[in-house]
Amino acid sequence: MDKLSLVTENDKLRSLLIKASEAGYFELENASLADLSALKGNVLVDYGLLKNANAGQEEALLLAAMSKELNSLIEKTLGELQRVKKLHEQIVPLREESIKGLKLLSKYGAGESSGGDFFDVIKGEGEMLLLMTSSSSYVVSSMILSHFDVLRAKKNLNRSSMEGFLTSVMSEVEKVAAENPKRKAAPPQCFIARIDLKRKTVEGFVFGGCEFFSSGKNYIAGNDFQVNPAFFDQAWFELKMERGERFLLLSPGLRKNCQEFIDGRPYISWLRDSLQGEPRNMLHEIFYQLKKNRERDFLAYDASVIYIEVDQHALVQV
């Protein structure tokens, strides 16, 4: 931002540029691919800055030069974001692993929205911690993942450690928001759960639009709770896995992309029926359905799906 305010000694023009900066016209940190595409080539003209400047010919030429420079920067940033998202989607098209009686497969689809989906797994002695998070800010997503890494060093992954993780995340998010009051980002959405690999039980928290359900009776719906200790009890869930049971964990982006219908049917109903099929084909079909009517390379929103299957012959401690 300093560059914009120091390019000229003209007080009127500097004031105009600072005002535009403070209004967020030049803030790229949280810009989505769609935002950047819309801005590219129209940074100053579309926002009427040149029209409202009442500048003389010298100032008008300077504004035009800055417009060209900013458009070049936006085009470069847009290209970099597109390459990163496309590369991530290609490198991690389908992730598969087996963990003591459980089979996990996950698939990710890149979206044009800012921020995005991230998920990770911590494998401990007889237990596993699963995280899925969605945020409109790359900075917030990075903070969440860095705090999750801290849990890797803990020997006991329990409710207390999960609450500590969530509390530390929100403390840092609120600190960043206080330091940058003009940057408004939606609260992060988070699913974090501990799976006891011996007893095949699941317990954890859901904050926001993540959904977790099975081919059986288990269904953990999304909610409107923000990550906050005041909602810990309400966001808490516990369930028991059965041998042969299949689960899907959905990021909020899946529902937003399909607008609650897949192939003309309510999406949960369609997904539950799909759980009976071969897992890899099912995941590929889900993302085919999300993309089939898209003219662009990316989905509108990041979407992630994690498939979990309990082995038919898994040992279960009672």
CATH for 215: 3.60.40.10
Whether residue 176 sits in one domain with residue 255: yes
pTM value is 0.73
138 and 80 in contact (C-beta within 8 Å)?
A: no
CA pair distance 107, 95, nearest whole angstrom? 7
CA pair distance 101, 220, nearest whole angstrom? 22
State the residue for tokens 């979990």. 308
Residue at which a domain ends, from 86, 105, 132: 86
Is residue 144 exposed (0-12), middle (13-18) or buried (19+ Cβ within 10 Å)? buried
Residue at which a domain ends, from 25, 51, 86: 86
34 to 103, 135, 199, 201: CA distances (angstroms): 36, 16, 46, 41
* Residue 41, domain extent: 2-86
Could you give the 3-state DSSP secondary structure of residue 95? strand
Cβ neighbours for 290, distance < 8 A, ≥ 6 positions apart: 109, 254, 257, 258, 262, 299, 303
Whether residue 118 sits in one domain with residue 207: yes
pLDDT given at position 310: 95
CA 61 to chain CA centroid, nearest Å: 41
Residue at which a domain ends, from 63, 86, 109: 86
Beta-strand pair 127-135/189-196: antiparallel
pLDDT given at position 273: 94
293 to 35, 124, 304: CA distances (angstroms): 21, 41, 18
307 forms beta bridges with 105, 248
> Residue 188: inside a domain, yes or no?
yes
Whether residue 98 sits in one domain with residue 56: no
Whether residue 273 sits in one domain with residue 202: yes
Upper half-sphere CA count for residue 174 (Cβ side, 13 Å)? 9
pLDDT given at position 249: 97
Residue by residue, pLDDT tens for the chain (318 residues) are 333 333 334 454 445 445 555 555 444 344 454 544 444 444 443 334 444 444 455 555 555 566 666 666 656 665 665 565 555 555 555 788 888 899 999 998 888 877 788 888 998 888 999 999 998 887 788 888 888 988 888 878 899 999 999 999 999 888 888 877 776 667 899 999 999 999 999 999 999 999 999 988 899 999 999 999 999 999 999 999 999 999 999 999 999 999 999 999 999 999 999 999 999 999 999 999 998 888 887 889 999 999 999 999 887 887
Domain count, the chain: 2
Label residue 48 left, alpha or beta by phi (over 0 means left) and psi (-120 to 50 means alpha): left
Whether residue 10 sits in one domain with residue 140: no
